[in-house]
Amino acid sequence: MASDETAAGTSVASVELIRQFQFERVLNHDTRSKSINILGTIDTTAAILTAEKTAFSAHDESAIAKLPTIANGTSSIRLLDSNDIYRWYMAVLVQDLETSPGAKLSLIWPATKTHIDKYGKQRRKVIRETPELYRTVLAPYIERMRGDRIQWVYNILSHKVEADRIVYENPDPDQGFILLPDLKWDRTTMDALYLVAIVHRHDIASVRDLNKSHIAWLKSVESEIIQAVTRTYTAISVAELRVYVHYLPSYYHFHIHVTNVEHDAGDGATVGKAIMLSDLVARLEEMSEEVYGFENTTLTYLLGENSELWREGYASVFGEG
């Protein structure tokens, strides 16, 4: 009972943080994803609040059926325009926190300059990272980004936080992983399903650390992830899952993204960022013994010019520092 009370207290405290948020300026917004990043303060310390319009829960047909009815779903409506059989309206939909919330909020507090740069509007560069650039620029950067910088990942793996959110776990320290919902997912809308598998082993920071010796392990992890997801979320089939990794990743401890193919994951699922896990395995299988792994290949990706890696590493390499 004490743990329940502690969790409830933490929840209340977290809600109060949102209410204490003081607006400063808009960092960035995206009309496609209907999201906005806002810089502000909480107790005079920088904070970043992200607000994103929630998706419709298409599987809840009883709720969707109420949308066109003024009494149940639409509190007010206005005609924008019409042409022949086509009509366009603006409407305010009735919302409910449990079944049809209007938005999902994310808070980073205290926020560092790195966070502010990441969530602000920025131009991107195409980086063609050769093995030499990896060894001289990225590898030292990765070392700085590990350790205390990803303590929150270690807290998840050791069940210090978010243990109640774990969907599935293989606890083996070498072969296992923890599967849990990504914070971008509302955990309700199945078309927007988004989970992350964080491996228990600590020797793989990114794709660059993968080599031919990892082929069997990667195949086993992918198979286990798919089985766990389809067993837990029976409305999702194997053919509806996208299993991929990011390069560059957002943090340097190997993890795998799992989404419904219907989910628009934005830049996170595009060329220059996402690589299907099955394609990674295929590339490893095709590598010669001389190449052996991704440390000795050239990889191309997109990098924001606000990032520390660009400013302190690649800007000078490409003559823009």
Structure tokens at 176: 């296992």
Structure tokens at 45: 């310390």
Residue 191 marked ligand-binding: no
Instruction: Please check whether residue 167 is in contact with residue 194, taking contact to mean a CB–CB distance below 8 angstroms.
Output: no
Residue 251 marked ligand-binding: yes
Work out the number of other CB atoms within 10 angstroms of the CB of residue 191.
18
Residue 252 marked ligand-binding: yes
Q: By C-alpha distance, which of 140, 230, 133, 136 is closest to 179?
A: 230
Residue 109 marked ligand-binding: no
Of the residues 115, 200, 214, 255, only one is catalytic, namely 255
- Rounded CA separation 252/63 (Å): 41
> Which amino acid is located at 99 in the chain?
T
Residue 131 marked ligand-binding: no
Inter-CA distances, 126 with 86, 208, 229, 299, 309, Å: 42, 18, 34, 11, 13
Instruction: Please check whether residue 16 is in contact with residue 42, taking contact to mean a CB–CB distance below 8 angstroms.
Output: no
Residue 34 marked ligand-binding: no
Residue 168 marked ligand-binding: no
Torsions phi, psi of 69, nearest 5? Answer: -90, 130
Instruction: Please check whether residue 142 is in contact with residue 252, taking contact to mean a CB–CB distance below 8 angstroms.
Output: yes
Residue 256 marked ligand-binding: yes
Residue 200 marked ligand-binding: no
Which residues, in sequence order, are CB contacts of 285 under 8 Å at separation 6+? Answer: 212, 215
Please indicate whether residue 200 is annotated as part of the active site: no
Residue 279 marked ligand-binding: no
Residue 257 marked ligand-binding: yes
Dihedral, 244, 181, 37, 35 alpha carbons, nearest 10: 80
Which residue(s) pair with 149 in the sheet?
none
Catalytic residues: 255
**Binding site, annotated residues for substrate:** 152, 162, 182, 184, 246-257
**Binding site, annotated residues:** 152, 162, 182, 184, 246-257
